[in-house]
Amino acid sequence: MTQKNAAGRDALLTGRSRLMDELSTASRRYMASYALFNQALADHLRLHPTDLQCLNLLGLEPGPVTTGRVAELTGLTTGSATRLVDRLERAGYVTRERDAEDRRRVLVTPVPERMAELGAVWEKLNGSWYAMFAAYSDEEIALLTAHMRRTVELSAAQIERLRGGEF
């Protein structure tokens, strides 16, 4: 390798290192800002932040789910998921019903009227998000979407590691 090529490689690595540092700082601020936004929204709705995100995830499911599925969706233990469902039921956001096909199973069903209330709040907030994303090209939106999907997968794996005591 020539001295010129080595200098170019070192400059590239330095540039990459700088970018990775910027990414690290930006991602920490991003995650903190989202956590704080989630807390503010949960406070506004008088919910626990995890309960709010559970409702968000339940709204993406095609139908009623078991408490075990709530645990899977949230990364919580089954005991914690049961307490979460208890809170949501007391607050009127979900109901529990015996599964008609398997009476041993209990299904958690979001209450449509309460979910509509949440939807109305999200609708008021979404306009700002859509306006922000309007500045991006279709390719950039696709990149952001791919990144978010990969982040969800990695987060689930990291939750599993932490809960499994591997860390």
d(Cα 121, Cα 112) in Å, to the nearest integer? 14
- pLDDT band at 10; cut points 50, 70, 90: low
Please count the CA atoms within 13 angstroms of the CA of 45 that sit on its side-chain side.
28
Q: What is the pLDDT of residues 106-141, one digit of tens each?
A: 999 999 999 999 999 988 998 888 899 999 999 999
Q: Which amino acid is at 146?
A: A
Q: Which of 35, 137, 52 is nearest to 88 (CA)?
A: 52
Whether residue 78 is predicted with pLDDT greater than 70 in this model: the reply is yes
Whether residue 95 is predicted with pLDDT greater than 70 in this model: the reply is yes
What does pTM read for this prediction?
A: 0.81
d(Cα 54, Cα 83) in Å, to the nearest integer? 12
Torsions phi, psi for 2 (to 5 deg):
-75, 165
Helix (H, G, I), strand (E, B) or coil at 95: strand
Q: Which amino acid is at 99?
A: D
Q: Which of 33, 41, 42 is nearest to 132 (CA)?
A: 33
Which residues lie across from 95 on neighbouring strands? 109
The full length of the chain comes to 167
Please count the CA atoms within 13 angstroms of the CA of 156 that sit on its side-chain side.
9
- pLDDT band at 2; cut points 50, 70, 90: low
